[in-house]
Amino acid sequence: MFEFSYLKANSLSEAAAFVAAHPDAKLLAGGMTLLPTLKQRLAQPSHLVDVGRLPELGGIELKAGRLAIGAATRHHDVATSAVVRNAIPALAYLASHIGDPQVRNCGTLGGSVANNDPAADYPAAVLALDAIIVTTQREIAAADFFQGMFATALEAGEIIVRVLFPVPKRAAYEKFPHPASGYAMAGAFVAEMATGVRVAVTGAGPGVFRWSEAESALAQNLNVAAVDKLTLDATDLNEDFHATREYRANLAKVMTKRALQKMLATK
């Protein structure tokens, strides 16, 4: 790693002020993305500001039909929280399948969302549930938040404080893990909201996206057969020596079907 200075923030405002004053500073929460990046010498921050234990970034609370989860909440805590399991079990399931047990003990919701890795799991839930990302400066709708591979709407120095997940009628997540990395090669979060069914796919393309054809089809017929008839356009999907774009399109469809099947089996 390149050299940097480490400091532990005592409050959120202190952290925000510091990163505003030091444009080359980076926030550190779980470190599951940042530290491997630094070890490969792919980034050279001047400072690491540790916000991982700030109480202002913690907490899991159900209020007015929305699940508010603090940005520094570990995946393990989301996965095992009785509140989450009751309100949005699909979210607990998703969190319980991120990485591996050791990663889940460190990695955070805010870190994952802010990073927007095209194969991360959380963006699928955030987009499907039409969540709101609350930052130190504003509230950002999910549709506006994800802006392409590793790109988000966050301004320099803007810190995610919590994510508000509207509670769906029901939802499910199914993912096909990359055989080597365990990231999503395709992951589908299907949610039945008051406004209809939403389908968000991660891992298959350059960023999380909603599969609108599937949503339209499911609006007509809420069953697996409706999705079965569809073919996801593979044109813009990822392709590498692991998997072709046609295969990823297929996986996205299969995961959507399986998530839908899981969802329909509840209540």
Binding residues for other proteins, rule: CB under 8 A, are 1-6, 28, 31-32, 35-36, 38-40, 48, 50, 52, 76, 99-103, 105-106, 176, 179-182, 240-244, 246-247, 250-251, 254
**Strand 132-135 with 66-70, pairing:** unpaired
Minimum separation from the CB atom of position 232 to other proteins (A): 14
Minimum separation from the CB atom of position 98 to other proteins (A): 11
Beta carbons within 8 Å of 85's beta carbon, 6+ residues apart: 92
Secondary structure of residue 240 in the 3-state scheme: coil
Nearer to other proteins, 31 or 134 (CB): 31
Nearer to other proteins, 62 or 105 (CB): 105
**Token pair belonging to 94:** 């998703």
Beta carbons within 8 Å of 64's beta carbon, 6+ residues apart: none
Nearer to other proteins, 89 or 182 (CB): 182
CB–CB of 141/173 below 8 Å?
A: no
Minimum separation from the CB atom of position 255 to other proteins (A): 9
Nearer to other proteins, 10 or 240 (CB): 240
Select from 154, 173, 152 the least CA-distant residue to 78. 173
Select from 191, 233, 207 the least CA-distant residue to 199. 191
Minimum separation from the CB atom of position 247 to other proteins (A): 4
Nearer to other proteins, 6 or 64 (CB): 6
Minimum separation from the CB atom of position 168 to other proteins (A): 25
Secondary structure of residue 135 in the 3-state scheme: strand
CB–CB of 149/11 below 8 Å?
A: no
Nearer to other proteins, 13 or 181 (CB): 181
User: CA torsion sign, 104 to 109 to 111 to 113?
Assistant: positive
Minimum separation from the CB atom of position 32 to other proteins (A): 6
